[in-house]
Structure 1
């Protein structure tokens, strides 16, 4: 039986010799966190009410307390008030850009944000395809680096032909050809007949559902690994997708939406809670021993996500003329396997059970919904 005398004196070396000093340090950290929280709220209220002079004074205080390598709230303050304007923050970002590819891969493979959204969407697409369908056509709002699609290509195999139609973005034309070649090469190795083309957003209505073709509209926005631009085009894409599906004489298609933004006002309580949860989860994946890696990924991907807004209203209004497509229990169970560990949770919500949410300590991080 273990007794108090069995404990080595060395055990006590891990504690501060001055307990009052230790308690004082904890209190100082708590006061700092609380002070930043109040300042962020006050700044948002000042902006909302048009008190711009007061807002600038508060912003100066926030910058004094901000740090890209500090506590959660200090990092949150940094990305909300400093990153876009401070020369030192810009130099830090330039240094991080030297390892952009490695940071991108680490973020995607280690954290669940993008993998969760992509898996849930792909699984729902795969389950929805009727057996007699000859061709699957996927219209992707933002294909990015194409990392969502290899698992689905593997699952579909050579039995069906697959066509990807990417919405054209002039700023990403240079990348499209490279992504197209990658997907085509990968599909060929799987024995799959794959076509990859693109069109402009204003040409979306030209796409209509037809016999023997399963039409899928895929819209992933605001995920941390993604570019934060093109927000104004989201609503147009969803409207075009909805019209294409509704105008069809048969229900041979679906719309999948993934959203990594929760709250459309930058300094709203909802946005601050979401950003804090995002930074806390990053700290769990990359504790102090990996602080340099965490700083690099937060600077390149999490920071822009925190300092930009994409209103959730742009995604949840799609069901006005479509019916929710319920996520299967198997999809839910597999998604839960992706996020095992930490304080993550996965829930299915919505009137039709067509919304799956990734949470951190009860705060939504990523939402995926399906309609048909």
Structure 2
């Protein structure tokens, strides 16, 4: 974990799990604007404040920019955002662009805003949304037909209409055009990265994606764990900052059981991918376990070392019970190839021994694996990330635009990449995809888990829903306006 003077020495898990806690020590400062006079944006104060609709009585009116973002979480935890933020009315059919183009709702000082950035308001024509939408479609079709020169020309046209502060389609376009818009995109990523920890804390609290995935996986593990085992052994695909595991540690304290947590190290795949340091994550988790009286062992090993250990593991006995956990998408930028490798190792072990496999999927690959061609796959990816960006916008006050930009740059933007999608499509057709088949059976979602999952999104706007799916009714899905944004599946033996 990346350390900062702005954070306390201990790891405040409660700051993630309880949105109402005071987090004023961790300010998210995105003070910048794009200078018209230079191709390279200069650092200065982003002075423009985006006003809320005058017809709403805004309890956040006194907030001054991003410095006070954490104070907003107290309002959000009381459900206030749902009453003060007007929701967009975008159609969910891919055949039409966003219908949520808004007219100007207040007096905004536009003199300091360069014309190179298109701000949503009365100057935005609905035709721009249609043109962005159709250009994106044409770009995907050109790639499918290997018309690289045409695809490049189309992408440059898209880049002229893309905007990190526009409507959802314009922001999806901006993510796809980072090569064309390199000046702006590099600067946004650089500035956002300076606030990574603060941005992550806000993202985790304000949006249900990660918390839903973590809850669904944890609850499946605890529900399936036999009562007579002495130790829970979790093999985690990507431990990152370790925020998923404190609730499980506390559950082990209540059950008077020990715990072993193995994080998979993926070699070159891990280099430069995350600011979290395994040593810091391990220390914080062990400290947390110690405070609850839990005997916890945390370790890191390569996937091949894990396979060798599992092969030599003695059968019989009930001391240890294995749970394989994988969370993909949602900003972690992992290759689907290694995701499938991990899941297939897990399936192979659980098919011969007692255990469980949980898979939290925050991108669209799994539901798009049966697409007839790359064009359909590309369209499905566009739809998925349009829904994610729309759902983020619905939760955010308009005058905290900079904070939303930072979180989109860090946790959503890296997944919106045409070349990465093309690589995913090739991998899906060239490598062995994960398929549980009949080797392991799905763990049916219980009514208790469904009700608890609904509680996670209960105070959000009513456009979030929780659904059950999967051939074995073993999948919990978080949906926004009918589009699945996160799905968690579980299998056991």
Task: Establish whether residue 194 from structure 1 lines up as the match of residue 263 from structure 2.
Answer: no
* Partner secondary structure for residue 489 of structure 2: strand
2:299 pairs with 1:219: no
Could you say which residue in structure 2 is the equivalent of 1:90?
186
TM superposition shift of 1:315: 7.1
1:330 aligns with 2:452: no
- After the TM superposition, which parts of structure 1 deviate over 6 Å for at least 4 consecutive aligned residues? 311-315
Name the CA distance, whole Å, in 2 between partners of 1:87 and 1:318. 44
Q: Return the offset for 1:33.
A: 1.1
CA contact (8 A) 1:204 1:240 kept: no
User: Deviation per CA, 1:227-284, whole angstroms, max 9, x where unpaired?
Assistant: 2034321111111111111223xxx211001111113658622111101000001101
Say which is worse superposed, 125-134 or 40-49, in terms of deviation.
125-134
TM-score (ref. length: structure 1):
0.87
Match of 1:169 in 2: 266
The answer for the alignment partner of 1:346 in structure 2 is: 466
Using the alignment, how far apart are the partners of 2:324 and 2:225 within structure 1?
13
Aligned residue in 2 for 1:100: 196
CA shift in 2, pair 1:28/1:186, >3 Å:
closer
Higher share in helix: 1
Shift of 1:330: 1.1
Shift of residue 81, structure 1, vs aligned partner: 1.5
Q: Which residue number in structure 2 is paired with residue 290 of structure 1?
A: 400
CA contact (8 A) 1:286 1:294 kept: yes
1:320 Cα deviation after fit? 4.1
Q: How does 1:1-372 map to 2 (within 5 A)?
A: 29-82=125-178, 86-157=182-253, 159-170=256-267, 172=270, 175-205=277-307, 206-207=309-310, 208=313, 210-212=316-318, 213-224=320-331, 227-248=332-353, 252-263=354-365, 268-307=378-417, 308-309=420-421, 317-340=435-458, 341-342=460-461, 343-372=463-492
Distance 1:269 1:48, change over 3 A: same
What RMSD in Å do the two structures reach over aligned CA positions?
2.5
Contact preservation (8 Å) 2:155, 2:180? no
Distance 2:124 2:186 in 1: 29
TM-score (norm 2): 0.66
Larger deviation: 227-236 or 103-112? 227-236
Post-superposition Cα deviations, 1:64-120, rounded to whole Å, max 9, x if no partner, equal: 000111111111110112268612210121111111111011001110010000001
Contact in 2 for aligned 1:220/1:259 (Cα 8 Å): yes
Moved more, 137-146 or 261-270: 261-270
- Pairs aligned (count): 347
Unaligned runs of 5+ in 2: 1-53, 56-102, 105-120, 369-373
1:211 deviates by 2.2
**Aligned residues of 2:267 and 2:302 also touching (Cα < 8 A):** no
